[in-house]
């Protein structure tokens, strides 16, 4: 597939976005949250297989112009570049780009890295053949605006492919366990686990796409001996979890309660016999933009 437009840093249309003082403050908190901990380690050690799975589902080919939205350290961007595609990775948290560039360099590929908001992408309409997001855009607070931007950036006939955690799987339960301890979300901010629901994603995409397909998958996390070991690792590497613990301050009872709740989630999902095996369920949605 050949792009009809070459992306630039200046959009040709005004992207849909909520641009208020509160929204800018929320985005600043999101950027700081994802810079906490060690997301590059999460991407490399726990979820590395997700990017290739999404790239394969999207049918990325050599010569395609690909956009990876909320790309993090390039979990999908680098596998896309390995096909011979020309790839742009955009993320709200540029602190992750150094690890992403190193990841790309280790694989001998080039990826363009841009700071940008999934709800206001800095690219022209229809600039990309394939628009991807691998457990990334799901964390944008305004889901419809994020999807509107994903669709807008994709050329007519191009592919949109999303990989998201499911609501009733391990990660969905993890989010629910964190919820009572975290600061309440701002008005209008929506839960990321809704993106794992097929009907919800179809509704967000609307009639601007066709050939919508949903494919379930399971990521097997088996590198921890016990649920408690997983918890102790997770609370040092995952930005949202670290932020939640920090919000509890020095309250030992609250910290102990959150420790128990996270270990309980892992215990409930543990499928291992000689060690902990956690199945992290996800769903891949692919669609083709009408036009």
Which pLDDT score, from 0 to 100, does residue 183 have?
A: 81
pLDDT tens for 199-215 read 999 999 999 999 999 99
Q: How far is CA 97 from CA 26, 108, 175, in A?
A: 21, 16, 26
Smallest CA-to-CA distance from 123 within 82, 167, 158, 99 is with 158
Q: How far is CA 12 from CA 8, 77, 153, 205, in A?
A: 9, 24, 11, 22
Radius of gyration from C-alpha coordinates of the chain: 19
DSSP class of residue 225 equals S
Q: How many residues does the chain have?
A: 291
Which domains are seen in the chain, by residue range?
A: 21-220+279-289 (3.40.50.150)
Share of the chain above pLDDT 90, in %: 82
149, 155, 158, 160: CA torsion to nearest 10: -10
In terms of Cβ atoms closer than 10 Å to its own Cβ (0-12, 13-18, 19+), residue 152 is: buried
pLDDT band of 15, cuts 50, 70, 90: very low
What is the average pLDDT across 103-109? 98
Whether 217 shows a pLDDT value over 50: the answer reads yes
Mean per-residue pLDDT of the chain: 92
Smallest CA-to-CA distance from 248 within 174, 164, 183 is with 183
Give me the residue label for tokens 């016990």. Answer: 226
pLDDT tens for 139-197 read 999 999 999 999 999 999 999 999 999 999 999 999 999 999 988 877 778 889 899 89
Distance (Å, whole) CA 154 – CA 132:
10
| Angle between helix 252-269 and 239-247 (nearest 10) | 150
Q: Any idea which of 3-12, 82-91, 258-267 has the lowest mean pLDDT?
A: 3-12
Smallest CA-to-CA distance from 128 within 107, 105, 149, 103 is with 149
pLDDT band of 25, cuts 50, 70, 90: confident
Share of the chain above pLDDT 70, in %: 93
Which pLDDT score, from 0 to 100, does residue 8 have?
A: 36
Which pLDDT score, from 0 to 100, does residue 12 have?
A: 36
In terms of Cβ atoms closer than 10 Å to its own Cβ (0-12, 13-18, 19+), residue 106 is: exposed
Does the reported pTM lie above 0.85? yes
Beta bridge partners of 87: 66, 111
Which pLDDT score, from 0 to 100, does residue 10 have?
A: 35
Give me the residue label for tokens 């590497």. Answer: 237
Which pLDDT score, from 0 to 100, does residue 133 have?
A: 98
Whether 218 and 282 have beta carbons less than 8 Å apart is answered as yes
Q: What is the bridge-based pairing of β-strands 276-289 and 209-224?
A: antiparallel
Whether 13 shows a pLDDT value over 50: the answer reads no
Encoded tokens for 101 = 């560039």
pLDDT band of 263, cuts 50, 70, 90: very high
């Amino acid at each position: 597939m050949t792009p009809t437009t070459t992306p630039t840093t200046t959009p040709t249309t005004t992207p849909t976005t909520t641009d208020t003082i509160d929204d800018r403050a929320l985005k600043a908190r999101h950027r700081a949250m994802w810079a906490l901990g060690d997301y590059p380690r999460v991407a490399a050690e726990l979820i590395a297989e997700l990017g290739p799975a999404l790239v394969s589902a999207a049918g990325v080919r050599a010569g395609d112009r690909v956009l990876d939205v909320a790309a993090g350290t390039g979990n999908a961007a680098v596998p896309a570049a390995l096909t011979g595609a020309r790839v742009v990775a955009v993320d709200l948290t540029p602190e992750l780009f150094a690890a992403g560039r190193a990841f790309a360099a280790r694989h001998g590929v080039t990826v363009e890295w841009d700071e940008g908001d999934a709800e206001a992408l800095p690219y022209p309409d229809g600039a990309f053949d394939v628009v991807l997001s691998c457990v990334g855009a799901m964390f944008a607070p305004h889901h419809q605006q994020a999807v509107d931007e994903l669709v807008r950036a994709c050329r007519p006939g191009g592919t949109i492919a999303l990989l998201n955690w499911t609501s009733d799987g391990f990660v969905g339960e993890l989010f629910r366990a964190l919820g009572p301890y975290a600061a309440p979300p701002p008005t209008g901010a929506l839960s990321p686990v809704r993106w794992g629901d097929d009907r919800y994603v179809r509704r967000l995409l609307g009639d601007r796409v066709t050939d919508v397909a949903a494919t379930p998958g399971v990521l097997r996390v088996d590198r921890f001996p016990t649920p408690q070991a997983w918890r102790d690792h997770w609370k040092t590497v995952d930005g949202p979890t670290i932020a939640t613990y920090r919000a509890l301050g020095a309250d030992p009872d609250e910290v102990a309660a959150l420790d128990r709740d996270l270990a309980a989630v892992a215990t409930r999902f543990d499928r291992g016999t000689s060690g902990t095996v956690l199945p992290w369920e996800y769903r891949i949605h692919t669609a083709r933009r009408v036009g």
